[in-house]
Amino acid sequence: MKFAHDFLFGAASAAYQVEGGWDEGGKGVSNWDVFSKIPGKTFENTNGDVAVDHYHRWKEDIALMAEMGLESYRFSIAWTRILPEGTGEVNPQGIAFYNQIIDECLRYGIVPFVTLYHWDLPQALEAAGGWHSKQTAEAFVRYAEVCFDAFGDRVKHWITFNEMIVFCRHGYLAGAHPPGLIDDKKAYFEATHNVITAHARAVMAYKARRQFGEIGITHVFSPAFSIDDSPENIAAAEHVNLMDTHWFYAPVLKGEYPEAVIDYLKRENLTPDWKPEELDDICKAAPMNDFLGLNYYQPQRVMKNDTSETLNLSHETVTGAPGSPSFDGVAKTVKMEDKTYTKWGWEIAPDAFLEGLRMLRQRYGNMKLYITENGLGDEDPIIDGVICDVPRIRYIETHLNAVKQAIKEGINLKGYFAWSVIDLLSWLNGFKKQYGFIYVDHADGLKRKKKLSFYWYQHIIATRGEGLGK
């Protein structure tokens, strides 16, 4: 089986993690420009001031993408480059910068797949309440409209938000992302509702323009599975899926929040200040979503939290590895002896990926899907000058095989975006692990170098994945 020609092979990045140029071209200050400079918040106090300097090297980077054969490049726009204060006057230099990116991609036949929000909020809006404030949601819709009007003649694939569970949970429960609050459950649920409202209204604004593209949202996809057949552990896994998946997916895809979570919020006095008109807009926008983006790295293996232990909420413990209770203390994730894990403790499980896709279809129907992130973070060895990232090749190969099988089963998957196109700055972990097909040599002036995976992915794209699994 070959992948169909309407299936997009791509790779992804995010503005803060690659661009640098943090105070150039009229750009405003983002919450990450401030938060990353608080001592101890990031590994070795790294920040995105330079990142990998894509702001100045975009032409070289896109040429490398074209050489690799990428059919699509998923990148994010920095809100602060378009509206430096989050509202107010549009910055023409920011518009010009992203016009260059878009036009260069199109010159090579690379489809631009644009994310409007990948975690870098204008600091002026953060200081005024961040996502806890309804004014931030209103400002986002205006920002989205500016982007639709500036770029929508050429950009036909839009993602509103990337991984709201991460920037909301880490920001309002774990203290690991801006605004750095710890265990503020009320603010957490308020923020998630405001983001979902902003998404719905941005979707309606896009559809009103009749630009004949597609728009959706990208969520974390980390399906939970019980560690055994015991009823209490099965119930714990169902609870985690409810809180980590369905709370985020259901309002986008079905236009309403899950009743079980609403009941929980009422019991715990955590119900957001949601207005009837907001709930109406969420309902109206649901059928307008053209696709769902899924960022999959690992599943969750879950059991009932059988101790008095609660989540240790601090930025030092936010690693993504299993071994912690859920934020509400009901369940906990477990590392299992019969599973395979990365050096950072993330499970490698393409079989769970496939099973999760089946579960998703069963609950929400066969909507259009893109895998908007999937990849391996590793310390890539350099042997005789060759960057030998063989584990990354194996990781992506097994997950592409799962994608192939899902398509054979009729699941409506239309693209795969590896994370990431180039080695980049981790939000919290600096440069100590790599994800890209393109190596960035920090000891040699940020020189770009092709990894083994670069050539492997080039071959996969050229052959439409024909040899995968053999």
Q: Which of 71, 104, 126, 163 is catalytic?
A: 163
- Report CA-CA distances (Å) from 211 to 8, 153, 218, 285, 375: 21, 7, 21, 17, 32
- Report CA-CA distances (Å) from 13 to 115, 118, 184, 333: 10, 9, 30, 28
The Cα 365–Cα 333 span in angstroms is 28
The Cα 274–Cα 281 span in angstroms is 11
The Cα 122–Cα 27 span in angstroms is 10
Strands 438-441 and 447-450: antiparallel
Q: Is 71 a catalytic residue?
A: no
Residue 302, beta-bridge partner list: 226, 333
Q: Which of 126, 190, 347, 373 is catalytic?
A: 373
Output the DSSP codes for 43-103.
GGG--TTTTT-HHHHHHHHHHHHHHHT-SEEEEE--HHHHSTTSSSS--HHHHHHHHHHHH
The token pair at 435 is 């994800």
Q: Is 259 a catalytic residue?
A: no
Strands 386-387 and 382-383: antiparallel
Calculate the dihedral angle through the C-alpha atoms of 71, 77, 82, 86, rounding to the nearest 10 degrees: 160
Catalytic positions: 163, 373
